[in-house]
Amino acid sequence: MSANRLKPEDIDKLGDALIALTHEVWVLRDRQKVLERLLADAGVLAPDAVQGFQPDDSLNAELGAEREALINNVLRALSA
Amino acid sequence: MGYQVQQRGRASIDFLTDLRRCSNRLEADPAIAGINPGAIFDHPQAGTKLDFVSMQTKTLRLLSDSEAFRVLRLCREWMLAAHGRIAMEAFAEMPVALSAELDAAKSGSSTLQYAPDLTLPAYWDGYEFHRSSGGWDGHDYMGFVHGELIHFHMVGRALAGVLHAQRLAAAEAALYDAPERILEMGCASGQFTAALAGTYPNARITALDLSARQLEQALRRGNEQGASWSLLQAAAEQTGLKAAQYDLVCSYAVFHELPRAVAEQVMVEKFRLCKPGGALLMADVKPYSSLSAHEVWNADFWNQVVGGDPHWREYAMTDFIALAESAGFVNVVWQGLGQYHYPYVLTGRKPASH
Protein backbone atom coordinates (compact mmCIF):
# COMPACT_ATOMS: atom_id res chain seq x y z
CA MET A 1 0.00 0.00 0.00
CA SER A 2 1.39 3.38 -0.99
CA ALA A 3 1.88 5.92 1.76
CA ASN A 4 1.33 8.70 -0.81
CA ARG A 5 -2.46 8.69 -1.00
CA LEU A 6 -2.43 12.33 -2.06
CA LYS A 7 -0.47 13.26 -5.14
CA PRO A 8 1.71 16.38 -5.33
CA GLU A 9 -0.94 18.06 -7.50
CA ASP A 10 -3.40 17.70 -4.59
CA ILE A 11 -1.37 20.02 -2.40
CA ASP A 12 -3.36 23.18 -3.23
CA LYS A 13 -6.58 21.39 -2.40
CA LEU A 14 -5.06 20.25 0.86
CA GLY A 15 -4.29 23.89 1.66
CA ASP A 16 -7.88 24.86 0.83
CA ALA A 17 -9.14 22.04 3.03
CA LEU A 18 -6.94 23.19 5.89
CA ILE A 19 -8.39 26.70 5.76
CA ALA A 20 -11.93 25.33 5.42
CA LEU A 21 -11.33 23.21 8.48
CA THR A 22 -9.91 26.16 10.40
CA HIS A 23 -13.05 28.11 9.47
CA GLU A 24 -15.26 25.35 10.83
CA VAL A 25 -13.21 25.06 14.00
CA TRP A 26 -13.60 28.77 14.58
CA VAL A 27 -17.37 28.70 14.03
CA LEU A 28 -17.62 25.97 16.65
CA ARG A 29 -15.32 27.63 19.14
CA ASP A 30 -17.35 30.82 18.78
CA ARG A 31 -20.59 28.91 19.41
CA GLN A 32 -19.13 27.06 22.38
CA LYS A 33 -17.95 30.29 23.99
CA VAL A 34 -21.37 31.88 23.45
CA LEU A 35 -23.14 28.89 24.97
CA GLU A 36 -20.87 28.59 27.97
CA ARG A 37 -21.24 32.32 28.69
CA LEU A 38 -25.03 32.19 28.40
CA LEU A 39 -25.33 29.11 30.56
CA ALA A 40 -22.97 30.35 33.20
CA ASP A 41 -24.73 33.72 33.31
CA ALA A 42 -28.05 31.89 33.79
CA GLY A 43 -26.57 29.75 36.56
CA VAL A 44 -27.32 26.57 34.59
CA LEU A 45 -23.85 25.10 34.15
CA ALA A 46 -21.88 23.58 36.96
CA PRO A 47 -18.10 23.85 36.41
CA ASP A 48 -17.64 20.17 35.35
CA ALA A 49 -20.99 19.64 33.59
CA VAL A 50 -19.65 19.75 30.01
CA GLN A 51 -16.51 17.74 30.74
CA GLY A 52 -18.38 14.74 32.14
CA PHE A 53 -21.47 14.78 29.92
CA GLN A 54 -22.57 11.66 27.98
CA PRO A 55 -24.91 12.29 24.96
CA ASP A 56 -28.14 10.29 24.60
CA ASP A 57 -29.44 8.84 21.27
CA SER A 58 -31.22 12.02 20.24
CA LEU A 59 -28.20 14.23 20.78
CA ASN A 60 -26.00 11.61 19.17
CA ALA A 61 -28.15 11.79 16.01
CA GLU A 62 -27.98 15.60 16.00
CA LEU A 63 -24.22 15.52 16.47
CA GLY A 64 -23.96 12.97 13.66
CA ALA A 65 -25.78 15.19 11.16
CA GLU A 66 -23.66 18.20 12.04
CA ARG A 67 -20.49 16.09 11.86
CA GLU A 68 -21.44 14.91 8.37
CA ALA A 69 -21.92 18.48 7.19
CA LEU A 70 -18.53 19.39 8.64
CA ILE A 71 -16.82 16.49 6.85
CA ASN A 72 -18.56 17.34 3.57
CA ASN A 73 -17.29 20.87 3.82
CA VAL A 74 -13.71 19.61 4.04
CA LEU A 75 -14.24 17.07 1.26
CA ARG A 76 -15.63 19.79 -0.99
CA ALA A 77 -12.26 21.51 -0.88
CA LEU A 78 -10.38 18.25 -1.47
CA SER A 79 -12.50 17.26 -4.47
CA ALA A 80 -12.97 20.67 -6.11
CA MET B 1 -34.95 46.94 7.61
CA GLY B 2 -33.69 45.27 10.75
CA TYR B 3 -32.08 41.85 10.68
CA GLN B 4 -29.43 39.94 12.57
CA VAL B 5 -26.82 37.63 11.12
CA GLN B 6 -27.02 34.35 13.03
CA GLN B 7 -24.21 32.58 14.88
CA ARG B 8 -22.64 30.58 12.05
CA GLY B 9 -22.82 33.48 9.60
CA ARG B 10 -21.47 35.95 12.15
CA ALA B 11 -18.59 33.67 13.15
CA SER B 12 -17.84 32.93 9.47
CA ILE B 13 -17.69 36.63 8.61
CA ASP B 14 -15.44 37.18 11.64
CA PHE B 15 -13.21 34.42 10.31
CA LEU B 16 -13.07 35.86 6.79
CA THR B 17 -12.33 39.34 8.11
CA ASP B 18 -9.46 38.11 10.26
CA LEU B 19 -8.09 35.72 7.67
CA ARG B 20 -7.91 38.66 5.28
CA ARG B 21 -6.33 40.95 7.87
CA CYS B 22 -3.79 38.38 9.02
CA SER B 23 -2.85 37.16 5.54
CA ASN B 24 -2.49 40.75 4.26
CA ARG B 25 0.52 41.08 6.56
CA LEU B 26 2.33 38.67 4.26
CA GLU B 27 2.41 41.42 1.62
CA ALA B 28 5.17 43.07 3.64
CA ASP B 29 7.48 40.10 3.03
CA PRO B 30 10.52 41.40 1.11
CA ALA B 31 10.03 38.87 -1.70
CA ILE B 32 6.53 40.24 -2.38
CA ALA B 33 7.05 43.89 -1.48
CA GLY B 34 10.21 44.01 -3.58
CA ILE B 35 8.91 42.39 -6.73
CA ASN B 36 9.51 44.63 -9.71
CA PRO B 37 8.13 43.66 -13.11
CA GLY B 38 10.34 46.13 -14.96
CA ALA B 39 10.48 49.68 -16.20
CA ILE B 40 7.94 49.37 -19.01
CA PHE B 41 5.27 48.61 -16.41
CA ASP B 42 6.02 51.80 -14.48
CA HIS B 43 3.05 54.10 -15.26
CA PRO B 44 2.18 52.30 -18.52
CA GLN B 45 0.46 54.60 -20.94
CA ALA B 46 -3.20 53.93 -21.62
CA GLY B 47 -3.86 52.77 -25.14
CA THR B 48 -0.45 51.10 -25.55
CA LYS B 49 0.07 47.34 -25.82
CA LEU B 50 2.26 45.57 -23.27
CA ASP B 51 2.98 41.88 -22.82
CA PHE B 52 1.16 41.34 -19.53
CA VAL B 53 1.13 37.56 -19.89
CA SER B 54 4.91 37.48 -20.08
CA MET B 55 5.16 39.91 -17.15
CA GLN B 56 2.91 37.78 -14.97
CA THR B 57 4.72 34.56 -15.96
CA LYS B 58 8.10 36.07 -15.12
CA THR B 59 7.08 37.56 -11.78
CA LEU B 60 5.20 34.41 -10.79
CA ARG B 61 8.38 32.39 -11.44
CA LEU B 62 10.29 34.72 -9.11
CA LEU B 63 7.57 34.63 -6.47
CA SER B 64 7.16 30.87 -6.55
CA ASP B 65 10.22 30.62 -4.29
CA SER B 66 8.51 32.78 -1.68
CA GLU B 67 6.68 30.87 1.03
CA ALA B 68 4.91 34.11 2.03
CA PHE B 69 3.53 34.52 -1.49
CA ARG B 70 2.39 30.91 -1.71
CA VAL B 71 0.50 31.20 1.58
CA LEU B 72 -0.94 34.63 0.66
CA ARG B 73 -2.24 33.23 -2.63
CA LEU B 74 -3.68 30.17 -0.88
CA CYS B 75 -5.57 32.37 1.59
CA ARG B 76 -6.83 34.86 -0.99
CA GLU B 77 -7.98 32.21 -3.45
CA TRP B 78 -9.75 30.38 -0.65
CA MET B 79 -11.56 33.58 0.34
CA LEU B 80 -12.50 34.26 -3.29
CA ALA B 81 -13.89 30.76 -3.71
CA ALA B 82 -15.64 30.64 -0.31
CA HIS B 83 -17.14 34.09 0.32
CA GLY B 84 -20.25 33.71 -1.86
CA ARG B 85 -21.08 30.28 -0.40
CA ILE B 86 -20.53 31.55 3.15
CA ALA B 87 -22.87 34.50 2.48
CA MET B 88 -25.56 32.20 1.07
CA GLU B 89 -25.17 29.90 4.09
CA ALA B 90 -25.52 32.91 6.39
CA PHE B 91 -28.75 33.82 4.62
CA ALA B 92 -30.05 30.26 4.83
CA GLU B 93 -29.77 30.18 8.64
CA MET B 94 -31.60 33.48 9.08
CA PRO B 95 -35.25 33.32 10.23
CA VAL B 96 -37.76 32.26 7.56
CA ALA B 97 -39.70 35.45 8.29
CA LEU B 98 -36.87 37.46 6.72
CA SER B 99 -37.89 36.35 3.21
CA ALA B 100 -41.41 37.71 3.76
CA GLU B 101 -39.94 40.97 5.10
CA LEU B 102 -37.69 41.24 2.05
CA ASP B 103 -40.67 40.65 -0.24
CA ALA B 104 -42.73 43.26 1.60
CA ALA B 105 -39.88 45.78 1.42
CA LYS B 106 -40.21 45.80 -2.38
CA SER B 107 -43.42 47.80 -2.00
CA GLY B 108 -43.04 51.53 -1.48
CA SER B 109 -42.19 54.82 -3.09
CA SER B 110 -39.61 53.50 -5.58
CA THR B 111 -40.44 51.44 -8.66
CA LEU B 112 -38.76 48.59 -10.55
CA GLN B 113 -39.45 47.80 -14.17
CA TYR B 114 -38.32 44.29 -15.13
CA ALA B 115 -37.35 43.37 -18.69
CA PRO B 116 -38.30 39.68 -18.97
CA ASP B 117 -37.45 39.58 -22.69
CA LEU B 118 -34.03 41.17 -22.25
CA THR B 119 -31.23 39.21 -23.92
CA LEU B 120 -28.46 39.20 -21.34
CA PRO B 121 -25.09 40.06 -22.92
CA ALA B 122 -22.56 37.23 -23.23
CA TYR B 123 -19.88 39.08 -21.22
CA TRP B 124 -22.24 39.12 -18.23
CA ASP B 125 -24.63 36.19 -18.40
CA GLY B 126 -23.58 33.33 -16.14
CA TYR B 127 -20.17 34.80 -15.26
CA GLU B 128 -19.36 34.85 -11.55
CA PHE B 129 -17.59 38.20 -11.15
CA HIS B 130 -15.11 38.32 -8.25
CA ARG B 131 -15.46 34.51 -8.20
CA SER B 132 -18.56 35.06 -6.07
CA SER B 133 -20.57 31.81 -6.01
CA GLY B 134 -23.99 32.29 -7.55
CA GLY B 135 -23.01 35.47 -9.40
CA TRP B 136 -25.40 38.42 -9.17
CA ASP B 137 -28.61 36.48 -9.76
CA GLY B 138 -28.05 32.92 -8.53
CA HIS B 139 -30.36 33.06 -5.52
CA ASP B 140 -33.90 34.36 -4.91
CA TYR B 141 -32.54 36.97 -2.50
CA MET B 142 -29.11 37.48 -4.07
CA GLY B 143 -29.53 41.26 -3.90
CA PHE B 144 -29.72 41.06 -0.11
CA VAL B 145 -26.93 38.46 0.00
CA HIS B 146 -24.62 40.72 -2.04
CA GLY B 147 -25.74 44.16 -0.94
CA GLU B 148 -25.88 43.38 2.76
CA LEU B 149 -24.01 40.21 3.68
CA ILE B 150 -21.12 40.55 1.22
CA HIS B 151 -20.90 44.31 0.61
CA PHE B 152 -21.78 45.59 4.08
CA HIS B 153 -20.73 42.80 6.44
CA MET B 154 -17.74 41.25 4.65
CA VAL B 155 -16.17 43.96 2.49
CA GLY B 156 -17.50 46.94 4.38
CA ARG B 157 -16.29 45.76 7.76
CA ALA B 158 -12.81 45.06 6.46
CA LEU B 159 -12.68 48.58 5.05
CA ALA B 160 -14.28 50.19 8.13
CA GLY B 161 -16.76 52.64 6.64
CA VAL B 162 -14.51 53.77 3.81
CA LEU B 163 -16.76 52.48 1.03
CA HIS B 164 -19.68 54.86 1.57
CA ALA B 165 -17.34 57.84 2.02
CA GLN B 166 -15.73 57.03 -1.34
CA ARG B 167 -19.13 56.94 -3.02
CA LEU B 168 -20.16 60.24 -1.45
CA ALA B 169 -16.91 61.86 -2.62
CA ALA B 170 -17.54 60.57 -6.15
CA ALA B 171 -21.13 61.85 -6.15
CA GLU B 172 -19.91 65.27 -5.03
CA ALA B 173 -17.33 65.38 -7.84
CA ALA B 174 -19.96 65.81 -10.57
CA LEU B 175 -19.64 68.99 -12.60
CA TYR B 176 -23.26 69.92 -11.98
CA ASP B 177 -24.48 71.80 -8.94
CA ALA B 178 -28.12 70.79 -8.73
CA PRO B 179 -29.10 68.17 -11.30
CA GLU B 180 -32.85 67.72 -11.65
CA ARG B 181 -32.61 64.34 -13.35
CA ILE B 182 -29.85 61.77 -12.77
CA LEU B 183 -29.26 58.47 -14.56
CA GLU B 184 -27.06 55.84 -12.95
CA MET B 185 -25.86 52.94 -15.09
CA GLY B 186 -25.03 49.66 -13.34
CA CYS B 187 -26.55 50.51 -9.96
CA ALA B 188 -26.43 46.93 -8.55
CA SER B 189 -27.99 47.00 -5.05
CA GLY B 190 -28.15 50.79 -4.95
CA GLN B 191 -25.09 51.71 -2.87
CA PHE B 192 -24.05 54.58 -5.15
CA THR B 193 -27.69 55.44 -5.83
CA ALA B 194 -28.00 56.18 -2.10
CA ALA B 195 -24.88 58.38 -2.23
CA LEU B 196 -26.35 60.28 -5.20
CA ALA B 197 -29.66 60.71 -3.39
CA GLY B 198 -27.86 61.99 -0.30
CA THR B 199 -25.80 64.45 -2.34
CA TYR B 200 -28.62 65.67 -4.60
CA PRO B 201 -31.78 65.32 -2.47
CA ASN B 202 -34.00 67.15 -4.97
CA ALA B 203 -33.00 65.12 -8.03
CA ARG B 204 -35.19 62.52 -9.73
CA ILE B 205 -33.07 59.42 -9.99
CA THR B 206 -33.31 56.68 -12.60
CA ALA B 207 -30.98 53.72 -12.10
CA LEU B 208 -30.52 50.63 -14.25
CA ASP B 209 -28.77 47.30 -14.03
CA LEU B 210 -28.84 43.90 -15.74
CA SER B 211 -29.45 41.97 -12.53
CA ALA B 212 -33.07 41.66 -11.43
CA ARG B 213 -32.03 40.38 -7.99
CA GLN B 214 -29.65 43.31 -7.37
CA LEU B 215 -32.28 45.77 -8.57
CA GLU B 216 -34.70 44.31 -6.05
CA GLN B 217 -32.28 45.15 -3.25
CA ALA B 218 -31.91 48.67 -4.70
CA LEU B 219 -35.71 48.87 -4.64
CA ARG B 220 -35.76 47.88 -0.95
CA ARG B 221 -33.06 50.45 -0.20
CA GLY B 222 -34.95 53.20 -2.05
CA ASN B 223 -38.20 52.33 -0.30
CA GLU B 224 -36.49 52.23 3.09
CA GLN B 225 -35.22 55.76 2.48
CA GLY B 226 -38.63 56.96 1.29
CA ALA B 227 -37.05 57.78 -2.07
CA SER B 228 -38.77 57.69 -5.46
CA TRP B 229 -36.12 55.97 -7.53
CA SER B 230 -37.10 54.63 -10.96
CA LEU B 231 -35.24 51.35 -11.34
CA LEU B 232 -34.95 49.59 -14.69
CA GLN B 233 -33.61 46.26 -15.81
CA ALA B 234 -31.60 47.19 -18.91
CA ALA B 235 -28.14 47.00 -20.47
CA ALA B 236 -26.17 50.24 -20.14
CA GLU B 237 -25.00 49.96 -23.75
CA GLN B 238 -28.57 49.80 -25.04
CA THR B 239 -30.99 51.33 -22.56
CA GLY B 240 -33.91 52.06 -24.87
CA LEU B 241 -34.38 55.35 -23.00
CA LYS B 242 -35.31 58.62 -24.69
CA ALA B 243 -32.35 60.80 -25.67
CA ALA B 244 -31.18 63.98 -23.88
CA GLN B 245 -33.18 63.55 -20.69
CA TYR B 246 -30.61 63.69 -17.91
CA ASP B 247 -28.53 66.47 -16.34
CA LEU B 248 -26.08 63.96 -14.89
CA VAL B 249 -25.27 60.53 -16.32
CA CYS B 250 -23.08 58.47 -14.03
CA SER B 251 -21.74 55.08 -12.95
CA TYR B 252 -19.69 53.68 -10.06
CA ALA B 253 -17.33 50.71 -10.40
CA VAL B 254 -19.02 49.48 -13.57
CA PHE B 255 -16.60 50.13 -16.44
CA HIS B 256 -13.91 47.76 -15.15
CA GLU B 257 -16.46 44.94 -15.55
CA LEU B 258 -16.97 45.70 -19.24
CA PRO B 259 -15.07 44.57 -22.35
CA ARG B 260 -13.47 47.53 -24.12
CA ALA B 261 -15.92 47.43 -27.06
CA VAL B 262 -18.88 47.54 -24.66
CA ALA B 263 -17.28 50.37 -22.68
CA GLU B 264 -17.19 52.41 -25.89
CA GLN B 265 -20.89 51.68 -26.52
CA VAL B 266 -21.82 52.65 -22.96
CA MET B 267 -19.95 55.95 -23.29
CA VAL B 268 -21.80 56.70 -26.54
CA GLU B 269 -25.08 55.85 -24.82
CA LYS B 270 -24.20 58.11 -21.90
CA PHE B 271 -23.62 60.96 -24.33
CA ARG B 272 -26.92 60.29 -26.12
CA LEU B 273 -28.89 60.33 -22.87
CA CYS B 274 -27.20 63.42 -21.44
CA LYS B 275 -28.97 66.77 -21.94
CA PRO B 276 -27.00 69.44 -23.83
CA GLY B 277 -24.91 71.11 -21.13
CA GLY B 278 -25.30 68.06 -18.89
CA ALA B 279 -22.52 66.24 -17.06
CA LEU B 280 -20.71 62.91 -17.26
CA LEU B 281 -19.45 61.14 -14.14
CA MET B 282 -17.65 57.79 -14.19
CA ALA B 283 -16.07 56.59 -10.95
CA ASP B 284 -13.98 53.44 -11.02
CA VAL B 285 -10.70 51.76 -10.07
CA LYS B 286 -7.28 53.25 -10.75
CA PRO B 287 -5.86 53.12 -14.30
CA TYR B 288 -2.41 51.54 -14.64
CA SER B 289 -1.01 54.90 -15.84
CA SER B 290 -1.42 56.14 -12.26
CA LEU B 291 0.42 53.21 -10.67
CA SER B 292 4.05 52.18 -10.14
CA ALA B 293 5.32 48.99 -11.77
CA HIS B 294 4.89 47.10 -8.51
CA GLU B 295 1.33 48.40 -8.09
CA VAL B 296 0.52 47.44 -11.68
CA TRP B 297 1.68 43.88 -11.01
CA ASN B 298 -0.26 43.79 -7.75
CA ALA B 299 -3.53 45.08 -9.24
CA ASP B 300 -3.19 42.98 -12.37
CA PHE B 301 -2.39 39.72 -10.59
CA TRP B 302 -4.97 39.87 -7.80
CA ASN B 303 -7.81 41.20 -9.99
CA GLN B 304 -7.25 40.16 -13.60
CA VAL B 305 -5.33 36.90 -13.10
CA VAL B 306 -6.95 35.35 -10.04
CA GLY B 307 -9.68 37.76 -8.87
CA GLY B 308 -12.52 37.04 -11.30
CA ASP B 309 -12.33 40.44 -12.99
CA PRO B 310 -11.78 39.45 -16.64
CA HIS B 311 -11.87 42.99 -18.07
CA TRP B 312 -9.85 44.75 -15.37
CA ARG B 313 -6.69 45.03 -17.51
CA GLU B 314 -8.59 46.29 -20.56
CA TYR B 315 -10.19 48.97 -18.41
CA ALA B 316 -6.93 49.90 -16.71
CA MET B 317 -5.14 50.28 -20.07
CA THR B 318 -7.89 52.29 -21.78
CA ASP B 319 -7.55 56.04 -22.31
CA PHE B 320 -10.96 57.07 -20.98
CA ILE B 321 -10.34 60.76 -21.67
CA ALA B 322 -9.98 59.92 -25.38
CA LEU B 323 -12.92 57.53 -25.21
CA ALA B 324 -15.22 60.15 -23.63
CA GLU B 325 -14.04 62.82 -26.05
CA SER B 326 -14.64 60.57 -29.04
CA ALA B 327 -18.21 60.06 -27.76
CA GLY B 328 -18.60 63.86 -27.81
CA PHE B 329 -17.94 64.97 -24.22
CA VAL B 330 -15.76 68.05 -23.64
CA ASN B 331 -13.73 69.42 -20.71
CA VAL B 332 -12.95 65.84 -19.77
CA VAL B 333 -10.82 65.28 -16.67
CA TRP B 334 -9.78 61.94 -15.13
CA GLN B 335 -8.31 62.00 -11.64
CA GLY B 336 -8.12 60.15 -8.33
CA LEU B 337 -10.01 61.54 -5.36
CA GLY B 338 -8.71 62.21 -1.87
CA GLN B 339 -5.64 61.06 0.00
CA TYR B 340 -5.52 57.64 -1.65
CA HIS B 341 -6.49 58.87 -5.14
CA TYR B 342 -9.46 56.51 -5.09
CA PRO B 343 -11.84 56.16 -6.78
CA TYR B 344 -10.66 57.50 -10.13
CA VAL B 345 -13.31 59.84 -11.46
CA LEU B 346 -13.89 60.88 -15.05
CA THR B 347 -15.91 64.07 -15.44
CA GLY B 348 -16.97 65.96 -18.54
CA ARG B 349 -19.71 67.93 -20.21
CA LYS B 350 -21.96 67.51 -23.18
CA PRO B 351 -21.67 70.77 -25.17
CA ALA B 352 -24.65 73.05 -24.55
CA SER B 353 -24.92 73.62 -28.28
CA HIS B 354 -25.21 69.94 -29.15
For residues B238 and B292, is the Cβ–Cβ distance under 8 A?
A: no
Distance of CA B242 to the CA centre of its chain: 26
pLDDT in tens, chain B (354 residues): 789 899 999 899 989 988 998 899 999 999 999 999 989 999 999 989 999 999 999 999 999 999 999 999 999 999 999 999 999 999 999 999 999 999 999 999 999 999 999 999 999 998 999 999 989 998 899 999 999 999 988 888 767 678 889 999 999 999 888 999 999 999 999 999 999 999 999 999 999 999 999 999 999 999 999 999 999 999 999 999 999 999 999 999 999 999 999 999 999 999 999 999 999 999 999 999 999 999 999 999 999 999 999 999 999 999 999 999 999 999 999 999 999 999 999 999 999 987
* A33 domain residue, yes or no: yes
Residue A3's pLDDT band (boundaries 50, 70, 90)? low
Cβ distance of A31 and B8 shorter than 8 Å: yes
Percentages helix, strand, coil for chain B (3-state, rounded to 5) are: 50, 15, 35
ipTM for the predicted complex: 0.76
SS3 B107: coil
For residues B121 and B235, is the Cβ–Cβ distance under 8 A?
A: yes
pLDDT of residue B137: 92
* A35 domain residue, yes or no: yes
The CATH number assigned to the domain with range B161-349 reads 3.40.50.150
Cβ distance of B74 and A27 shorter than 8 Å: no
Calpha distance A47→B64 (Å, rounded): 50
Residues in chain A within 8 Å Cβ distance of B77: 16
Cα separations (Å) of B76 from B22, B72, B155?
11, 6, 13
Calpha distance B50→B38 (Å, rounded): 12
* A4 domain residue, yes or no: no
SS3 B338: coil
Among chain A, residues having any CB pair with chain B shorter than 8 Å are 12, 15-16, 19-20, 22-23, 26-27, 30-31, 34, 80
Calpha distance B80→A79 (Å, rounded): 17
Average pLDDT over residues A9-20: 89
Calpha distance B155→B327 (Å, rounded): 34
Amino acid letter for position A66? E
CA distance A20 to chain B (A): 8
CA distance A57 to chain B (A): 25
Residues in chain A within 8 Å Cβ distance of B19: 19, 23
Query: Read out DSSP for B125-158?
Result: TT--GGG-TTTTTSSTTHHHIIIIIIIIIIIHHH
pLDDT of residue A1: 47
Q: How many domains does chain A have?
A: 1
Calpha distance B81→B95 (Å, rounded): 26
**Confidence check: pLDDT of A47 > 70:** no
Burial class (CB in 10 A: 0-12, 13-18, 19+), B174: buried
Calpha distance B334→B126 (Å, rounded): 32
Strands ordered across the beta sheet of B344-349: B111-113, B230-233, B204-209, B181-185, B246-252, B274-284, B344-349, B330-336
pLDDT of residue A80: 61
Q: What does the CA dihedral B51, B55, B61, B63 come to, rounded to 10 degrees?
A: -160
Cβ distance of B7 and A12 shorter than 8 Å: no
Residues in chain B within 8 Å Cβ distance of A22: 15
Cβ distance of A34 and B7 shorter than 8 Å: yes
Phi-psi region of B126 (alpha: psi -120 to 50; beta: other; left: phi over 0): left
Residues in chain B within 8 Å Cβ distance of A15: 74, 78
* A51 domain residue, yes or no: yes
Selecting from A19, A30, A34 the residue whose C-beta is nearest the C-beta of B75 gives A19
Cβ distance of A23 and B10 shorter than 8 Å: no
Cβ distance of B7 and A31 shorter than 8 Å: yes
User: Shortest CA distance to B336 belongs to which of B302, B280, B289?
Assistant: B289
Whether the bond between B276 and the residue before it is cis, its omega within 30 degrees of 0, is no
Residue A49's pLDDT band (boundaries 50, 70, 90)? confident
Residues in chain B within 8 Å Cβ distance of A12: 74
User: A69 is in which domain, residue-wise?
Assistant: 10-79
Cβ distance of A31 and B11 shorter than 8 Å: yes
Query: For the segment B169-198, what is each residue's pLDDT rounded down to a tens digit?
Result: 999 999 888 999 999 999 999 999 999 999
Selecting from B11, B77, B82 the residue whose C-beta is nearest the C-beta of A30 gives B11
Q: Are strands B204-209 and B230-233 parallel, antiparallel or unpaired?
A: parallel
Residues in chain A within 8 Å Cβ distance of B83: none
* A1 domain residue, yes or no: no
Average pLDDT of chain A to the nearest whole number? 84
Residues in chain B within 8 Å Cβ distance of A80: 81
